[in-house]
Structure 1
Amino acid sequence: MLLEVLNTLFQRDLAKLRQEISLYKDERNLWLVEEHIANSAGNLCLHLIGNLNTYIGAEFGKTGYVRHRDLEFSLKDIPRTELLAKIDETMAVVEKGLSNVTEAQLAEEYPMLVFERPTSTEYFLVHLTTHLTYHLGQINYHRRLLDS
């Protein structure tokens, strides 16, 4: 049951991420930063893609994805079409990865140590949904503030 809910939330919010990136009137504004805004929408998008491909795709989908976290924040001017394609790919990776997780695994320790101490897989997957929505909200504000 929880796995179905998680997949529904990931798919919903990744579709919303796709919509937010598509809504920018000027594609160049995806990469803007201003005082007190540390990250561009483009970099936050790359960060979310890297995060989910690492913790769901590589871990549960066995995709072989290798994360380069520093590039998520340093790459610039990636074409919107490429970001949208990466979001679409991530949606498929998340769905496939979650389909490999069993209900019993949810109570088990997440295979990677991500925080200061081990967490259950259930806890970590819920964390990933909140991480996605947190940055999705930042992207929404970024677009409304800097793409006028």
Structure 2
Amino acid sequence: MLTQTLIKLFKRDLNKLITEVNLYKDESNLWLTSKEVSNSAGNLCLHIIGNLSTFIGAEFGNTGYIRQRDLEFSLKDVPRTDMVAQVKEVITIVENTLSSLTEDDLQKEYSRRVFEDTMTTEYFLVHLSMHLAYHLGQINYHRRLLDF
């Protein structure tokens, strides 16, 4: 079933996120921006945590998580250890939540916003995986460009 594939992909990429965050030579470099790079790796990491905690955790897993999206981009200098711990929590949430979904759940209609085109839950979960991969690539590039 697709959920097992998604669990593997989310776990792979979230573990790679932990690796990327830990590869920064200087923890303060996680928060660097430049004229060409407006989002720091730290903020992108917080955004990934918030995104998956919201859509997989709260919406599909009923975790009760309440998103504060503006803080994902405005908080600075969150300790690396705190971010890594939060990513590890997200891995557990993703695995537990996706394991509980049935094939019928995946085919249900899902709409993020009123008047927006609808999609299946399956489609949205694939989208979330791609969203994670996109930002993971940005973090990797950020590290190689600005971590000196």
Task: Report if TM-score (shorter chain) is over 0.5.
Answer: yes
Shift of the 62–45 alpha-carbon distance from structure 1 to 2, 3 Å rule, reads same
Moved over 4 A (4+): none
2:27 is the counterpart of 1:43: no
Instruction: Report the Cα offset of residue 112 of structure 1.
Output: 3.9
On the 8 A contact 2:111/2:119 being kept in 1, the answer is no
User: How many residues matched?
Assistant: 148
Shift of the 13–114 alpha-carbon distance from structure 1 to 2, 3 Å rule, reads farther
Shift of the 73–15 alpha-carbon distance from structure 1 to 2, 3 Å rule, reads same
- Name the SS of the counterpart of 1:117 in structure 2: coil
**RMSD (Å), alpha carbons:** 1.3
- Name the SS of the counterpart of 1:116 in structure 2: coil
2:7 is the counterpart of 1:10: no
Runs of 5+ unmatched residues, structure 2: none
2:118 is the counterpart of 1:118: yes
- Report the counterpart of residue 101 of structure 1 in structure 2: 101
Q: TM-score, normalised by structure 1?
A: 0.96
Instruction: Report the Cα offset of residue 88 of structure 1.
Output: 0.5
Letter in 1 for 2:143: R
- Report the counterpart of residue 83 of structure 2 in structure 1: 83
- Report the counterpart of residue 70 of structure 1 in structure 2: 70
Instruction: Report the Cα offset of residue 23 of structure 1.
Output: 0.3
Q: TM-score, normalised by structure 2?
A: 0.96
Letter in 1 for 2:97: G
Instruction: Report the Cα offset of residue 119 of structure 1.
Output: 1.1
Runs of 5+ unmatched residues, structure 1: none
Calculate percent identity across the aligned residue pairs: 64
